[in-house]
Amino acid sequence: MAGITWHYVLKFIITGDAGVGKSSLLVRLTDQRFMTNPDPTLGVEFGSKLIEIPEQGKIVKLQCWDTAGTESFRSITRSYYRGAAGCLLVYDVTSRMSFMNARTWLEDVREHADPHLTCILVGNKVDLCEPSSPPPSPSPITHPATTLKPRQVTTEEASEWAREHDLLFVEASAKSGHNVDQAFEDASRDILDKIQRGVFDDDRSPGVKLSKPANGNVALNQGSTRAVCCS
Ligand SMILES: Nc1nc2c(ncn2[C@@H]2O[C@H](COP(=O)(O)OP(=O)(O)OP(=O)(O)O)[C@@H](O)[C@H]2O)c(=O)[nH]1
Ligand SMILES: [Mg+2]
């Protein structure tokens, strides 16, 4: 789609416990692939992607800062919160601990980020507890039960907690791609709505930038990720 430029640049942070799949969600968004054995993030990684929000007639460039879940990087990653307009707060639906810890991550976000930031709670790894299709029967191939894990956080509990804390909510799988684009689109839609209502101002809010006229030649599905920070 040559000639397309973007209307807004929106800065996002992705936060949550180590191992919940933050980097995997970002790579799924930008590269449409899944990493079975990614390295833990050291500090912060960066990825960007153009997405279209047809309801508002806008194309936005997402600039995503994928932060490390490891405690030792916390002070580095906090410094990225301030400039963000959106946040993906990620937990793993098969790990109750990661859901409980979302409270602490949210406190951090509320303390350090723009008070108007849009936050979406993302319950990742639903593929582990929801087989995509019922097992064929009878089948000569046995699917090992070890690939599935019990769900430890119900959709209802997470959705209720999200509502109480004024968060959007979605369950997703970086592995299958289920609802990954949706998570970023829902949050972007909410931010665009805030821009329209004057809550965010592209002159004053560092997480939102109005595009300058450009010559274009940007593909809508263009995405990229790269590491930017270190220990
Ligand atoms: N089954 C399944 N595994 C996933 C999914 N998302 C991530 N994983 C796996 O979970 C592990 C951790 O994924 P990462 O993306 O590195 O997690 P992270 O949150 O970025 O971790 P840190 O960078 O250490 O904070 C990897 O083995 C991934 O392959 C998912 O949706 N489904
Ligand atoms: Mg990571």
Nearest CA to ligand 1 atom 7: 21
Provide the sign of the torsion angle of the four alpha carbons 197, 202, 208, 210, taken in this order: positive
**Residue 219: predicted pLDDT:** 42
pLDDT digits (tens, 9 = 90+) for 115-168: 999 999 999 999 999 665 555 555 454 444 447 899 999 999 999 999 999 999
43 CB under 6 A from ligand 1? no
Residue 85 has pLDDT above 90, yes or no: yes
Run of H or E including 9: strand 8-16
Counted residue by residue, the chain has a size of 231
CA nearest neighbour of 191 among 206, 204, 208, 179: 208
178 CB under 6 A from ligand 1? no
Residue 88 has pLDDT above 60, yes or no: yes
The CA 1 to ligand 2 mean position distance, Å, reads 31
* Cα gap 37→182, rounded to integer Å: 24
Enumerate residues 6+ apart whose C-beta is below 8 A from 230: 42, 43
Ligand 1 pocket: which of 24, 35, 182 to mutate (most atoms within 8 A of CB): 24
Q: For 53-57, what is the mean pLDDT?
A: 91
pLDDT digits (tens, 9 = 90+) for 22-31: 999 999 999 9
Cα distance between the two ends of the chain: 38
Note the ligand closest to the C-alpha atom of 35: 1
Q: For 43-48, what is the mean pLDDT?
A: 95
Confidence of residue 218 (pLDDT cuts 50, 70, 90): very low
